[in-house]
Amino acid sequence: MTQALPGIDVTTNEPLGLYVHLPWCVRKCPYCDFNSHPLKGSLPAEPYVAALLHDLEQWSGSIERREISTVFLGGGTPSLFSADLVGGLLEGIANRVGLSATAEITLEANPGTVERDSFTAYRAAGVNRVSLGVQSFNDAALKRLGRIHGREDIDRSIRSLARAGLDNFNIDLMFGLPEQTVEAALEDIRLALRAAPAHLSHYQLTLEPNTAFAHDPPPLPADEACWEMQETAASELTAAGFHQYEVSAWARPGRQCAHNLNYWRYGDFIGIGAGAHGKLTDVTGDAVTRWSMPRQPRVYLDQSQPPAQRSVPPDERVFEYFLNRLRLREPITRVDFSRRTGLAWSVVEDRVNEARDRGLLAVSEDGFRTTDLGWRFLNDTQQVFLP
Ligand code: SF4
């Protein structure tokens, strides 16, 4: 039997995210294992928006008086949806659930799909943050990654963001690209900084199962070179005033992504759209439910299949909490653990002490933080909390 979340009012006080999955792309990139589908024929935009809003209605009863504090339009390639459609979708959301007047509303955009003044139109539609999928500034590298955009498209998108006055934007960059040198990776960081983003996500390319790259692997740089790319990027970003608040996320002060922070803090979120996931804490604070929607857009669109739903048992809640929470550099407190999971700290105390003895955690009266060793070997640190 779990205890109720002590002192937390999940009905109103805690951040609540809304993730909206828009699953189509112009074509599939060979490294991509997201739920994204090459667009064949025309975009079924109107029926999809109607399905999303219908989907949202199913969850509106479960959130009672809670307001949505962040909306993330992810994909796929959400910028395939016009600003009018995005505006209609946001209006439909606000008509169905409480949407905070100060909500962070992020649109993921592919530089290859951005027309001249589209960001001005997206901003007028309600978008106030953009995540631009740049990946690299190098045309040869982009070609190798199967991206539909080149350097010119990136520059045009950045100019369009500036014209729209959207200074709260993220640049997604990857490193460890096929045959990439440390110098080329550093050049990408420098060019990204020149665009003056508020946030930068820096991911290493990995070969995920069931992708074209996994079947026919390209020659990737050695581990030592990738380590050096990460270290040189860290120095460059720190010198430019960014701080690393999560494994792959760097931000200027006050410009962290509130939507993603909520995931990593084990907060609640609703997920709508093909293959979207959601997590909600029961209003009694005594149960955590997760769900996922059917992955295939066609199946999602005909709404014949209900979401796969399950309650998260306490030992899994412990692992889920630490798996997410340890990605952040901020310390973990006993109070936060109990508020988020509904469990007493004594449930994990032995494991925390074991990790401390291995030098992975530095324990204090309030909780702990990861040591440099624990941060460097994050997988080992997370595994301490496996069920
Ligand atoms: S554009 Fe993004 S979501 Fe679409 S296939 Fe490429 S990596 Fe995947």
Structure tokens at 274: 């093909």
Query: Measured between alpha carbons, how far is 386 from 370 in angstroms, rounded to an integer?
Result: 17
Q: Does one domain contain both 251 and 330?
A: no
Probe residue for ligand 1, chosen from 22, 36, 79, 145 as the CB with the greatest number of ligand atoms within 8 Å = 36
27 CB near ligand 1 (under 6 Å): no
- Of 223, 245, 262, which residue constitutes the final position of a domain? 262
Q: Which of 343, 345, 319 is nearest to 5 (CA)?
A: 343
Q: Which helix (H) or strand (E) holds 192?
A: helix 182-194
Probe residue for ligand 1, chosen from 28, 35, 72 as the CB with the greatest number of ligand atoms within 8 Å = 28
- Of 235, 262, 289, which residue constitutes the final position of a domain? 262
pLDDT in the model for residue 320? 96
Region 206-235: mean pLDDT is 97
Number of neighbouring beta carbons within 10 Å of residue 383: 14
Number of neighbouring beta carbons within 10 Å of residue 13: 9
Q: Does one domain contain both 39 and 144?
A: yes
Q: Which helix (H) or strand (E) holds 103?
A: strand 99-109
Q: How far is CA 82 from CA 120, 122, 139, 287, 380, in A?
A: 12, 8, 26, 39, 44
Region 63-79: mean pLDDT is 94
Q: Does one domain contain both 318 and 193?
A: no
Answer yes or no: is pLDDT of 360 > 60: yes
The Å distance, Cα 146 to ligand 1 centre, comes to 9
Q: Does one domain contain both 162 and 250?
A: yes
**Smallest CA separation from ligand 1 atom 6, residue:** 29
pLDDT in the model for residue 8? 47
- Residue 387 lies inside a defined structural domain of this protein: yes
Q: What's the sign of the alpha-carbon dihedral 339, 341, 345, 346?
A: positive
Region 304-324: mean pLDDT is 93
The Å distance, Cα 203 to ligand 1 centre, comes to 14
Answer yes or no: is pLDDT of 7 > 60: no
Q: How far is CA 39 from CA 44, 146, 263, 265, 337, in A?
A: 10, 15, 29, 34, 43
The Å distance, Cα 31 to ligand 1 centre, comes to 8
* Main-chain phi, psi angles of 229, to 5 degrees: -60, -40
Region 60-82: mean pLDDT is 93
- Residue 81 lies inside a defined structural domain of this protein: yes
Output the pTM of the full model.
0.95
Query: Measured between alpha carbons, how far is 312 from 103 in angstroms, rounded to an integer?
Result: 28
**Which amino acid appears at position 240 of this protein?**
A
28 CB near ligand 1 (under 6 Å): yes
- Residue 267 lies inside a defined structural domain of this protein: no
**How many domains does the chain contain in total?**
2
The Å distance, Cα 100 to ligand 1 centre, comes to 30
Answer yes or no: is pLDDT of 282 > 80: no
Confidence of residue 229 (pLDDT cuts 50, 70, 90): very high
Pairing of strands 367-370, 288-292: unpaired
Q: Does one domain contain both 97 and 179?
A: yes
Cβ atoms of residues 81 and 118 within 8 Å? no
- Give me the percent of the chain exceeding a pLDDT of 70: 96
The Å distance, Cα 24 to ligand 1 centre, comes to 9
Q: Does one domain contain both 25 and 162?
A: yes
Q: How far is CA 246 from CA 91, 233, 329, in A?
A: 32, 14, 6
Probe residue for ligand 1, chosen from 25, 132, 144, 148 as the CB with the greatest number of ligand atoms within 8 Å = 25
Q: Does one domain contain both 60 and 188?
A: yes
Q: Does one domain contain both 326 and 242?
A: no
- Residue 122 lies inside a defined structural domain of this protein: yes
Q: What is the largest CA-CA distance in the chain?
A: 60
32 CB near ligand 1 (under 6 Å): yes
The Å distance, Cα 295 to ligand 1 centre, comes to 15
Q: Does one domain contain both 257 and 334?
A: no
243 CB near ligand 1 (under 6 Å): no
**Smallest CA separation from ligand 1 atom 2, residue:** 76
Query: Measured between alpha carbons, how far is 304 from 307 in angstroms, rounded to an integer?
Result: 10
Q: For 171-184, how does the pLDDT look when each residue is reduced to its tens digit (9 = 90+)?
A: 999 999 999 999 99
- Residue 166 lies inside a defined structural domain of this protein: yes
The Å distance, Cα 23 to ligand 1 centre, comes to 9
pLDDT in the model for residue 339? 86
Range of the domain at 379: 313-387
Q: Which of 45, 58, 110 is nearest to 305 (CA)?
A: 58
- Residue 298 lies inside a defined structural domain of this protein: no
Q: Does one domain contain both 243 and 374?
A: no
77 CB near ligand 1 (under 6 Å): yes
Query: Measured between alpha carbons, how far is 260 from 325 in angstroms, rounded to an integer?
Result: 11
The lowest-confidence range among 8-17, 266-275, 343-352 is: 8-17
Q: Does one domain contain both 50 and 150?
A: yes
CATH of residue 139's domain is 3.20.20.70
- Residue 287 lies inside a defined structural domain of this protein: no
pLDDT in the model for residue 5? 47
pLDDT in the model for residue 284? 66
The Å distance, Cα 28 to ligand 1 centre, comes to 6
